[in-house]
Amino acid sequence: MGRLDNKVAIITGGASGIGERMVELFSQEGATVIAADINEAALEKVSEKENVVGMKLNVASDEDWKAFAKEVNDRFGEIDILVNNAGISSEKPYEEIDLDDWQKMLSINGFGPFAGIKHVAPYMAAQHKGSIVNISSYTAQIGQGFNHYSASKGAVRALSKAAATTFGRQGVRVNTLFPGIIETPMTDALSTSKELLGRLIQATPLQRLGKPEDIANAALFLASDESSYITGSELVIDGGFSA
Ligand code: NAD
Q: Are 222 and 132 in contact (CB under 8 A)?
A: no
What pLDDT was estimated at residue 7?
Answer: 98
Q: What is the pTM of this model?
A: 0.98
Which tens digits make up the pLDDT trace of 73-91?
999 999 999 999 999 999 8
Catalytically active residues are: 149
Residues 172, 18: Cα–Cα separation, whole Å: 23
3-state secondary structure at position 120:
helix
Q: Tell me how many helices (H) and strands (E) the chain has.
A: 8, 7
**CATH 3.40.50.10320 describes domain 8-237:** no
What pLDDT was estimated at residue 18?
Answer: 98
Atom of ligand 1 nearest to the CA of 108: 18
Contacts of 169 (CB under 8 A, 6+ apart): none
Number of Cβ within 10 Å of residue 50's Cβ equals: 8
Q: What is the pLDDT along the chain (243 residues), one digit of tens a residue?
A: 999 999 999 999 999 999 999 999 999 999 999 999 999 999 999 999 999 999 999 999 999 999 999 999 999 999 999 999 999 999 899 999 999 999 999 999 999 999 999 999 999 999 999 999 999 999 999 988 899 999 999 999 999 999 999 999 999 999 999 999 999 999 988 878 889 899 999 999 999 999 999 999 999 999 999 999 999 999 999 999 999
Spatial CA neighbour of 36 closest among 93, 92, 75, 90: 75
Spatial CA neighbour of 91 closest among 178, 135, 141, 152: 152
Residue ranges covered by each domain of the chain: 8-237
* Ligand 1 neighbours by CB, cut-off 6 Å: 12-13, 15-19, 37-39, 42, 57-60, 85-89, 108, 135, 137, 179, 181-182, 184-187
What pLDDT was estimated at residue 192?
Answer: 83
